[in-house]
Amino acid sequence: MKMKVFITAFIIPLQLILSCILSVPEPATAGELNSLYDTTYKLHLGAFLPRMKTKTAVDPSNPLLPPGDLIDMENDFGLEKDLTLGRLDGYFRLGRRHRIQAGYFTLKRDGSRVINRNITFGDITFPLNATVESEAKNSILEVGYMYSIVQNERFELSGTFGVHWLDVETRLTGDTGGGIVETESASAAGPLPLFGLDVDYALGARWILSFRAMRFAIEIDEYDGSLTDLRASIEYFFLENFGVGLGVNDFDLDVDFDGARLAGELEWGYTGLQVFATLRF
């Protein structure tokens, strides 16, 4: 499965990049379009419409007990799958070939469901037919450095190194038997580095096509997992400094952890459209 993700995240984008390089036309005549590298600031602000997928397991604090159950948070506990969120991202060009990019979005979901099986989450087991209230909070802050490897007025290929700071929290509350209501929660936060490639291609004086593929996998100490972030978008500029865009983003995190304070598994991801306004200077 990891090999399949690797192929999707890198080999296919490389084919796209090579085809773009080979097909880049001669630069536009003077005044037809601003060079891509003439943009110092670029800001995207808009709505993000992801479909979420979340599976999690949290083991009891006593390592002698059986591991926690793998829970599908959307299907088992009724968390919303389809959302509409605000999203902000952009970059600042430090020089012709150097850029710093950043982005942020956050979400909070609540659900309630009568469960159809016994479910162990951490130190609590919720029995069959218990009503369980669920809450999930997730946020992503990303910061990255981009270096332009290939660059002309219409085409820019950049290598990217970035860090995604993920903050994930899950809370379950329900009757554990005999009318006793208990709450169990688990949270994790920390940076995950990513390496990848960015492509920007001006289709004409007003259109820009962009693509990003980022990937990281780790197996060290108590952590074993991978993260893949794929994006594609197209922008249309009504004015020199203002435009609108449409994009798609696929994000996939799969990690097993076995630490002294928290052990379990997390599979979290989303696929969704982004509709945004663009400012550039």
Residue with tokens 């080979």: 22
The predicted-structure confidence for 64-83, as pLDDT tens digits, reads as follows 889 999 999 999 999 999 99
pLDDT value, residue 188: 83
What's the CA dihedral at 237, 240, 241, 242 to 10 degrees? Answer: -30
Mean of the pLDDT values across residues 274-280?
A: 96
Domains in the chain: how many in total?
1
Q: Residues 6 or more apart from 81 whose CB is under 8 A from it?
A: 51, 52, 53, 74
Cβ pair 200, 231 in contact under 8 A: no
Residue 112: name the closest of 126, 96, 101 by CA. Answer: 126
* pLDDT computed for residue 3 by the predictor: 37
Domain that residue 6 falls in: 2-20+45-280
- Does residue 239 sit within a domain? yes
pLDDT, tens digit (0-9, with 9 covering 90-100), for 253-262: 998 888 666 7
- CA 111 vs. chain centroid, Å, equals 22
- Residue 37 domain-assigned? no
What's the confidence (pLDDT) of residue 59?
A: 93
Greater confidence (125 vs 222) lies with 125
5 — pLDDT class (breaks 50, 70, 90): very low
Whether 112 maps to a domain, the answer reads yes
Residue 215 lies in a domain: yes
The whole-number pLDDT of residue 237 equals 94
Question: Which segment of 109-118, 133-142, 184-193, 253-262 scores lowest on mean pLDDT?
Answer: 253-262
Which region among 58-67, 85-94, 175-184, 215-224 has the lowest average model confidence (pLDDT)? 215-224
Per-residue pLDDT reduced to its tens digit, 209-265 = 999 999 998 776 677 889 999 999 999 999 989 999 999 999 999 988 886 667 889
Instruction: Read off the pLDDT of each residue in 46-65 and give the average, rounded to a whole number.
Output: 92
Q: Tell me, yes or no, whether 158 lies in a domain.
A: yes
- 132 and 115 Cβ atoms separated by less than 8 Å: yes
Where is pLDDT greater, at 128 or 12? 128
What mean pLDDT do residues 153-170 have? 92
Q: Which of 264, 245, 243 has its CA nearest to residue 255? A: 264
CATH of the domain at 215: 2.40.128
Q: What is the mean pLDDT of the chain?
A: 86
| Assigned domain for 143 exists | yes
Determine the average pLDDT of the residues in 195-207. Answer: 92
The reply to whether 139 falls in a domain is yes
pLDDT value for 135 = 95
Determine the Cα–Cα distance for residues 91 and 8; give it in Å rounded to an integer. 26
pLDDT value of position 257: 80
| pLDDT of 142 above 80 | yes
Task: Rank 140-149, 182-191, 199-208 by mean pLDDT and report only the highest.
Answer: 140-149
What is the reported pLDDT for 224?
82
Q: What is the dihedral of CA 209, 46, 104, 143, to 10 degrees?
A: 30
Whether the predicted pLDDT of 272 surpasses 50: yes
Find where tokens 């990690």 sit. Answer: 255
Residue 27, in any domain of the structure: no
The single-letter DSSP state of residue 253 is E
pLDDT at position 190 is 83
